[in-house]
C-alpha cells in the first residue's frame, strides 16, 4: 500500500536526519482501542510518532484542518493517518470528535496531544477532551514523552520514550468534569515523569 511506503520513507528520514530513537515501542498493545498521548514540541512530533507506532499497528492522529487546504500536503497528511480538526470552532470540532470516537470504537489507535498545541516554551494546561474520549470509548491511554524535537530542523537527536498504560474509570456519582480534569492532569504528570535515561 502507498501509505506503508510513505510511512517507511518518513521513518527513514527521521532515522537519518535526526538519529531518532524510539524507546518502549513494544509497550504499544497490538489490538484494542488505544490513545497514545504525548507532549508536543514541534511539527515533527505527529509524523514521527505515527510513522513508528504504525510498525505495531495502524495509527491515526488529529491534525489541524489547515494542513488539508493544500491538496498535495493534505494527501500526504491523510496517508499518515491524519484526521482534520478545526481548532478555531467555538465549543470544539464535533466532526473531529465523532471521527475520534469512531476510530477507537473500531478498536483503532489514535495519537493525541493533551495540551492541544505546540508548547513553544510555554506551560499549558491539558485539555479535558482526551479524558472524555477515553471515557466514551473505554480506550486505554499510553503516555509517551518526546525529547528534543524542537531542535529537529537543526539535526537534533529526537528521543521518544513510552511509559505505562493508564485507564480512566471514574467513580459512579463523581463530578465527571472534575474527573476529566484530574485524569488529564495526572496523564501529563505521567508524561513528564518519564526520564530520558531511566530504564
Domain encompassing residue 83: 2-193
The whole-model pTM stands at: 0.91
pLDDT tens readout for residues 154-164: 889 999 999 99
In angstroms, rounded to a whole number, what is the distance separating the alpha carbons of residues 175 and 19? 45
Q: Is residue 17 part of a domain?
A: yes
Give domain status of residue 199, yes or no. no
Q: How many domains does the chain have?
A: 1
For residue 161, being part of any structural domain is answered with yes
Q: Render pLDDT for 42-56 as a digit per residue (tens, 0 to 9).
A: 989 999 999 999 999
**pLDDT tens, residue by residue, 95-150:** 889 999 999 999 999 999 998 766 555 556 778 889 999 999 999 999 999 999 99
Is 153 part of any domain? yes
| CATH number, domain with residue 170 | 3.40.1130.10
Cα 119 to Cα 108: distance, rounded to the nearest angstrom: 27
Residue 12 within any structural domain of the chain: yes
Amino acid at each position: 500500500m502507498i501509505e506503508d511506503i510513505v510511512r517507511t520513507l518518513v521513518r527513514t528520514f527521521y532515522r537519518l536526519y535526526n538519529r531518532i530513537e524510539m524507546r518502549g515501542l513494544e509497550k504499544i498493545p497490538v489490538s484494542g482501542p488505544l490513545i497514545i498521548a504525548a507532549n508536543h514540541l514541534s511539527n515533527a512530533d505527529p509524523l514521527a510518532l505515527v510513522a513508528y507506532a504504525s510498525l505495531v499497528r495502524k495509527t491515526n492522529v488529529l491534525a489541524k484542518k489547515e494542513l488539508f487546504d493544500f491538496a498535495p500536503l493534505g494527501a500526504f497528511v491523510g496517508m499518515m493517518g491524519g484526521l482534520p480538526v478545526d481548532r478555531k470552532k467555538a465549543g470544539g470540532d464535533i466532526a473531529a470528535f465523532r471521527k475520534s470516537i469512531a476510530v477507537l470504537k473500531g478498536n483503532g489507535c489514535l495519537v493525541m496531544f493533551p495540551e492541544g498545541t505546540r508548547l513553544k516554551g510555554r506551560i499549558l494546561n491539558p485539555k479535558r477532551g482526551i479524558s472524555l474520549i477515553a471515557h466514551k470509548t473505554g480506550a486505554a491511554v499510553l503516555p509517551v514523552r518526546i525529547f528534543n524535537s524542537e531542535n529537529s530542523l537543526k539535526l537534533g537527536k529526537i528521543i521518544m520514550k513510552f511509559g505505562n498504560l493508564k485507564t480512566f474509570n471514574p467513580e459512579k456519582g463523581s463530578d465527571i468534569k472534575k474527573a476529566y480534569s484530574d485524569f488529564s492532569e495526572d496523564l501529563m504528570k505521567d508524561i513528564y515523569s518519564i526520564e530520558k535515561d531511566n530504564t
